[in-house]
Amino acid sequence: MATLCRPSVSVPEHVITMEETLDLARSRHADHPQLPLALRLIENTGVRTRHIVQPIEETLKHPGFEARNKLYEREAKSRVPAVIQRALDDAELLTTDIDVIIYVSCTGFMMPSLTAWLINEMAFDSTTRQIPIAQLGCAAGGAAINRAHDFCTAYPDANALIVACEFCSLCYQPTDLGVGSLLSNGLFGDGIAAAVVRGTGGTGVRLERNGSYLIPKTEDWIAYDVRETGFHFLLDKRVPTTMEPLAPALQDLAGMHAWDASDLDFYVIHAGGPRILDDLSKFLKVEPHAFRFSRATLTEYGNIASAVVLDALRRLFDEGVPEDGARGLLAGFGPGITAEMSLGSWQNGGRA
């Protein structure tokens, strides 16, 4: 049965604190009629620090979509291989052991996908399958886990590599002055994560069931408006309320597996913001402490989009390996509004 091994995570070296973010908002938008509201919303995120691929003075410039996309490609090629290598080492595998690479990102575009470059650059086998996912936003981390699970179910001896590369700072748009945009400027950060799903053996989450759920008629609540200047992020104020309809979907998935979503041993959840975690705690009837890994990611890195779920899982590993058989839930939420969910139990194993 497929096992999700310890993720490797890396964030860029340039750091911006909440205090610096608030000061920038005050200085750049002093005359904005809703500035007090935007400042209050940014403070309420609880994001203490974020990491970005450029110094903040460069991030605030907009040299054009072409220049930004070239920077995305250059930074991805510079940073991703080392993260992959650590994930492979943790899973005790070589590049030649990988049968499929699932690459997720919503903050830059390449064709062919970075997967093709990685296969050549890191000596993956030329028969390695490629599954790039570009339009699921923050939910793509959960989707990547689920597609890796599906692949290893279809091919039980296969191994899948998941890579999430998000440079959200490259989507900053200085002319977008809505409250949602100002909030996003203080919420999103940059990060890269990778993890191996082993078909046999390994220590980590033994994936047992997965599912998806889309809230009807919410497809415009999280979206990109693609213009000459690049990706303009649209965030509806109703997004934080989505846990009320999504919590039952999580409960239903667990129920199909004869589990109770309110009574599990660990939770690895995409933290879009603190309201998401607060509401999920309420509607699932789970203690807030259960979401400590997601809150830590949000506090230290901000919302790093599809990489959040993998970073939260990495923190579970770092806290101490759970007991064999411990049951858990993983979930990512994003545009659609879509939930990508999976159930698994802890396996303390090794190389099969």
> Can you read off the two tokens belonging to residue 344?
């698994």
Give the residue numbers annotated as catalytic, written as ranges. Answer: 138
* Cα–Cα dist 55/48, whole Å: 17
pLDDT in tens, 157-171: 999 999 999 999 999
* String of DSSP letters for 282-330: HHHT--GGGGHHHHHHHHHH-B-GGGHHHHHHHHHHHH-PPPTT-EEEE
* Cα–Cα dist 136/150, whole Å: 17
pLDDT in tens, 49-86: 999 999 999 999 999 999 999 999 999 999 999 999 99
* Cα–Cα dist 226/230, whole Å: 6
Q: Grade residue 350 by pLDDT with cuts at 50, 70 and 90.
A: low
Token pair 């078909």 in the structure block, residue:
199
Averaged pLDDT, 83-105: 98
Instruction: Give the dihedral sign, CA 212/138/164/277.
Output: negative
The distance from CA 83 to its chain's CA centroid, rounded to whole angstroms, is 15
Q: Taking the model in full, what pTM does it have?
A: 0.95
* Cα–Cα dist 189/12, whole Å: 9
* Helical (H) or strand (E) element with 119: helix 114-121
| Position 351 pLDDT exceeds 50 | no
Q: Grade residue 352 by pLDDT with cuts at 50, 70 and 90.
A: very low
> Can you read off the two tokens belonging to residue 186?
């203080």
Averaged pLDDT, 268-291: 92
Class of domain 204-347: alpha beta
pLDDT in tens, 178-204: 888 888 889 999 999 999 999 999 999
| Position 271 pLDDT exceeds 90 | no
Q: How many other β-carbons are positioned within 10 Å of the β-carbon of residue 40?
A: 10
SS3 content of the chain, % helix, strand, coil (to 5): 40, 25, 35
pLDDT at 321: 77
CATH fold match for the domains 3-198 and 204-347: yes
pLDDT at 19: 95
- Domain boundary assignment for the chain: 3-198, 204-347
Question: For domain 3-198, is the CATH number 3.60.150.10?
Answer: no
| Position 346 pLDDT exceeds 50 | yes
